[in-house]
Chains A and B, each alone.
Chain A
């Protein structure tokens, strides 16, 4: 019986754990279970839980990456330095702008793609495959490729010139550099979220659409009253995953602009790598990581709050 109470006190898996009943010889069962869990537990503790703790701990020290001297406690020094650092505010601003623009852009376009390929039609699989190709191409390759496409006389500007548009120096101009990186990132990841939207779309029962047809609903009404409500869980998931991965922006920026011009594309992770790796100031980098962590946590909590709110309304 004790298994049941323990399972009930934990929220997520309670429903599934409750069904289980203790088996015969449960002491040796527990031993086997713990043994099988052991490798994963040791690794997760060493490489996930301890580093999470270290992010908090090291942020208050002057730890250096490679140093003969042990780290010393320095109080909130790293944070006072951080809040006086203009690059930090620029990085924070860029990271937030990146997320705020790319989340609606990418999720809406990906939903559009999913709707376009969610039809029974010959050859539709070909389109799905092509839209998905950038996803299996690594961000490193995509960044290198677009670095070339974005050159002042590169492919994109030459194509624009055909329509009589004088394209900007995409990555060299502080006004367009972040936008250029946003567009490229959306291009790369859109296929990924298309697939997730698609799996959401396919969970909506077909008879709902048949019923809507009988009621004489037009395409927009079917989308508004059948598709959209049916995608609620998918929506939450996509919103959270795009936001968190947007905050982690690093590869594109490191390859394409190194944060420039004039810090216009600097991000929190890029700044953490600069200070913690190139300048070896682990303590300061941990303070930046902590700021990043707080941002992620805040977004997750806000998201939870809003999705819960809707549950009550419904």
Chain B
């Protein structure tokens, strides 16, 4: 305390006795701000330029991509600009099919994920039952298990599972749509996020609704879910991103070309003669949907990532 007091007095003395010192402090403050700005801009280039390079190169012929590497032209749409790489991609792989598969897999998982996980969280957070605490404890404990540890046993297990589809009873889930969707619907982290949110909504709402004669399912559907927009957005985004980007699982679980998602499709371009222009075009096309969604819902994206950090 005395040290602080002393330094305060010192600062006071310095202020009154030597105003020019104070001004130099101001100058160093401005210099520091300038340095910070410079750093921010350099970092902008570090994170932005590779992606800009990808976009620009997707419009250039292979030879020109290499020629432009040595200069600033690598990041500028100069020279022989065309959409030839894009038509090349469509000629080389069933791109529309890959895209449709990814959209179907992602959308179905997100929609059912919101439904299934929010219902489970509602049961745990708002209805409650004997042992609900233990169930939540088990769900939280599984959060430390990364999917990659289970991938190989799950692959074997998926091949043993029966499935009742439109064509009747079949054995083994490998090489199907459902193997890319159903294992990822229920998610411990999504349940946790919903649980946290539901738990923060005043319990009096339930009581009031009950007085009005509403049942639990009605309360879930008409009161709690409409109030939980931010939680739904968070879960939707945190399900959407990894599902769209999934690579390891479809690489192993799906062999048929017509069932493959976009990420696995990139492997086609590494085989045979590599055309970097086409790779950049393909990469741009599979990144664009996420990028557009991100720009449109930026705040929700950032908030959902931020709220994923609240656990711990």
The 8 closest A-B pairs by CB, nearest first: A10-B133, A237-B312, A43-B186, A40-B120, A196-B309, A276-B152, A199-B306, A138-B245
Give B245-303 interface residues, CB cut-off 8 Å to A.
245, 247-248, 251-252, 263, 266, 269-270, 276, 279-280, 283, 286-287, 290-291, 294, 298, 301-302
Give A174-215 interface residues, CB cut-off 8 Å to B.
187, 190-192, 195-196, 198-200, 214-215
A90 at the B interface (CB under 8 A): no
* Bound CA span A288–B148, Å: 11
Partner of B156, one of A47, A63, A138: A63
- Of B46-54, B77-85, B93-101, the one touching chain A: B46-54
Give B26-44 interface residues, CB cut-off 8 Å to A.
32, 36, 39-40, 43-44
Find out whether the CB atom of A7 lies under 8 angstroms from the CB atom of B133: yes
Find out whether the CB atom of A236 lies under 8 angstroms from the CB atom of B312: yes
Q: Which of A139, A144, A234 counts the most B-chain CB atoms under 10 A from its CB?
A: A144
A228 at the B interface (CB under 8 A): no
Residues of A in contact with B (beta carbons under 8 Å apart): 2-3, 6-14, 16-17, 19-20, 22-24, 29-30, 32-34, 36-37, 39-41, 43-44, 46-52, 54-55, 58, 63, 65-66, 113, 116-117, 119, 127-141, 144-146, 148-149, 153-155, 158, 161, 187, 190-192, 195-196, 198-200, 214-216, 219, 233-234, 236-238, 240, 244-245, 247-248, 250-251, 254-255, 269, 272-273, 276-277, 282, 285-286, 288-290, 292-293, 296-297, 300
* Bound CA span A196–B217, Å: 35
- Give A18's nearest chain B residue, CB to CB: B133
- Of B4-12, B16-24, B227-235, the one touching chain A: B4-12
Find out whether the CB atom of B139 lies under 8 angstroms from the CB atom of A240: no
Find out whether the CB atom of A215 lies under 8 angstroms from the CB atom of B4: yes
Instruction: Give chain A residues whose Cβ lies under 8 Å from the Cβ of B124.
Output: 13, 33, 37
Find out whether the CB atom of A215 lies under 8 angstroms from the CB atom of B151: no
Shortest CB-to-CB span from B252 to chain A, Å, is 5
* Bound CA span A59–B245, Å: 29
Give B214-232 interface residues, CB cut-off 8 Å to A.
215-217, 220
* Bound CA span A146–B51, Å: 10
Q: Given contacts A33-B129, A127-B40, is CB(A145)–CB(B54) below 8 Å?
A: yes
Find out whether the CB atom of A6 lies under 8 angstroms from the CB atom of B311: no
Give B181-217 interface residues, CB cut-off 8 Å to A.
182-186, 188, 191, 195, 199, 203, 206, 210, 215-217
Q: Which of A154, A219, A296 counts the most B-chain CB atoms under 10 A from its CB?
A: A296
* Bound CA span A187–B45, Å: 12
Partner of A17, one of B133, B140, B152, B188: B133
Instruction: Give chain B residues whose Cβ lies under 8 Å from the Cβ of A8.
Output: 133
Give me 13 A-to-B residue pairs in the complex whose CB atoms sit less than 8 angstroms apart, sorted by A's number: A33-B216, A34-B123, A36-B119, A58-B156, A127-B40, A132-B302, A136-B301, A137-B290, A138-B247, A140-B247, A148-B279, A248-B147, A293-B145
Find out whether the CB atom of A247 lies under 8 angstroms from the CB atom of B136: no
* Bound CA span A139–B244, Å: 11
Find out whether the CB atom of A187 lies under 8 angstroms from the CB atom of B46: yes
Q: Given contacts A54-B153, A158-B69, is CB(A32)–CB(B127) below 8 Å?
A: yes
